[in-house]
Structure 1
């Protein structure tokens, strides 16, 4: 009978939980379809009863990503993803007058006035919590308890200042662009993590060639998908929101590809004696063009 250590089980559960957050979002959207139909974007379901599950899942994913960030370049990437996931959740997408049945949008396209107090509350809470986390991280780093956290702390400070200043000086611009910007950055970071795992060692075992090629393909799909999503988002920005669900399809593709990446990562690292997120990532993997054994030399 196999045994596992407590850190290993915690590592496994966190990884499973991140995959589960995607399932939560998709199920919540499907549960809202009978009452609201197929909207033009998954993000539009923020204005339906799916909102609580949508927001809760992204906040949970942010915490799990932060816990799994590990060391080296992957630490910076996943810490950054953890920074932007709450913004995707708390700042909704702008919608048009015909985007969501029953939602009055007098300033189409925009974040409706009825949702703005909730957004303000969520963003203020996010900023306060982020400031506390950064303060704790700085103290721990000063005490030598958080080595390698400098870049993550600097990035956190930049996001804190940028969100605060933009929210105060240009609130309408912030509401118009924060969601789509945070979404593109989040999935771009996941694409970067996939590339990192294809070419640099982030686990105690060398991944098989097919898995590394799959990581490259995942990164390519995410990048192309984000470009298409950006084009589709700005193409409908002056419309009333009653558009074909191309953005919904693009967002669904991004979520499914992210889920696939996370399943493969979980499978790759499941049986490691020491969780991969605790290992340094300072060795480049062999070139893909060479036949390579799947174990370390």
Structure 2
């Protein structure tokens, strides 16, 4: 058996950690059900005892995605997904009165309760400052030649656009950010994962490309994710059916399957830092 290098071991641990994040979220929801009941969505459990695990798992997922994004179009897609994951964690989903036991909602339409809105200001300020620092470090490293601007340029540009966009919306129209920010970030995250799965099937890396059966699996996951999101939105928005919780759990399960396939495919790469 070949010796495992320190970098291989590190990347394997990161891959397994990332695979554990959707499991942690689903377990936190399961353990919160006896007290909170079955709520309209996974996001509603942010207001329950599951909040700590929910937020921590998403922030951990963001860090792992940045470390594991690799090269090519998959790198850009996963880097942007990593930028969206913390927004899912820190922008709560608006709720209506009576939807979450024990949480007082002081508005007629769905909203973020006052105490949680105050936390949001703090979390968004932290997110934007850290994002700006990371962006600045990336630019300095690219200028020094430590990283290739050809590879990181698209990610840095998209990161700048996202940070500026969030800053402008938060400053000029905070109500829009509170009402739609969580849903847009979550929807965008899973769409990006579907695109990564599709890219793995149609434009794999030259080194260690997936086998034909695995490519078929990636395409199936991409299609299933898009269909799941589309059906959930149609049934929830147009027909007002309580299907968001099921749709989100399916999306988390599909993400878990996708990442386990990625882990199996890239487990033994000699240079995981370059291949992601």
User: More helix per residue: 1 or 2?
Assistant: 2
Is residue 120 from structure 1 mapped to residue 121 from structure 2 by the alignment?
yes
Q: Which of the residues 187, 190, 195 maps onto 1:184? A: 187
Map residues 40-189 of structure 1 onto 2, 5 A cutoff.
40-107=40-107, 108-147=109-148, 148-189=151-192
Q: Aligned residue for 1:215?
A: 218
Distance apart, 1:274 and its partner CA: 2.0
Q: Aligned residue for 2:230?
A: 227
Q: Distance in 2 between matches of 1:233 and 1:177?
A: 15
Q: Distance in 2 between matches of 1:36 and 1:206?
A: 45
C-alpha contact 1:29 1:50 (8 A) present in aligned 2:
yes
Distance apart, 1:201 and its partner CA: 2.0
Distance apart, 1:65 and its partner CA: 0.3
Structure 2 residue matching 1:10: 3-state secondary structure:
helix
State the superposition RMSD in angstroms. Answer: 1.6
Q: Which of the residues 250, 258, 269 maps onto 1:261? A: 258
Q: Distance in 1 between matches of 2:85 and 2:231?
A: 20
Distance apart, 1:236 and its partner CA: 8.3
How far does the alpha carbon of each residue in 1:128-172 deviate from its partner, in whole angstroms, 9 at most, with x for none? 000000010010011111211111111111011110000111111
Structure 2 residue matching 1:149: 3-state secondary structure:
helix
Q: Distance in 2 between matches of 1:53 and 1:133?
A: 24
Gaps of 5+ in 1: 238-242, 281-297
Is residue 271 from structure 1 mapped to residue 274 from structure 2 by the alignment?
no
Q: Distance in 2 between matches of 1:191 and 1:79?
A: 14
Is residue 193 from structure 1 mapped to residue 190 from structure 2 by the alignment?
no
How far does the alpha carbon of each residue in 1:20-46 deviate from its partner, in whole angstroms, 9 at most, with x for none? 111111111111000011101000000
Q: Aligned residue for 1:4?
A: 4
C-alpha contact 1:203 1:279 (8 A) present in aligned 2:
no
Question: How many matched pairs?
Answer: 273
Q: TM-score, normalised by structure 1?
A: 0.88
Q: Distance in 2 between matches of 1:133 and 1:233?
A: 37
Q: Aligned residue for 1:292?
A: none
C-alpha contact 1:203 1:269 (8 A) present in aligned 2:
no
Q: Distance in 2 between matches of 1:138 and 1:208?
A: 36
Q: Distance in 2 between matches of 1:195 and 1:168?
A: 36
Q: Distance in 1 between matches of 2:229 and 2:198?
A: 16
Q: 1:233 to 1:163 in 2, by over 3 A?
A: farther
Is residue 247 from structure 1 mapped to residue 244 from structure 2 by the alignment?
yes
How far does the alpha carbon of each residue in 1:61-89 deviate from its partner, in whole angstroms, 9 at most, with x for none? 00000011122211101110001000000
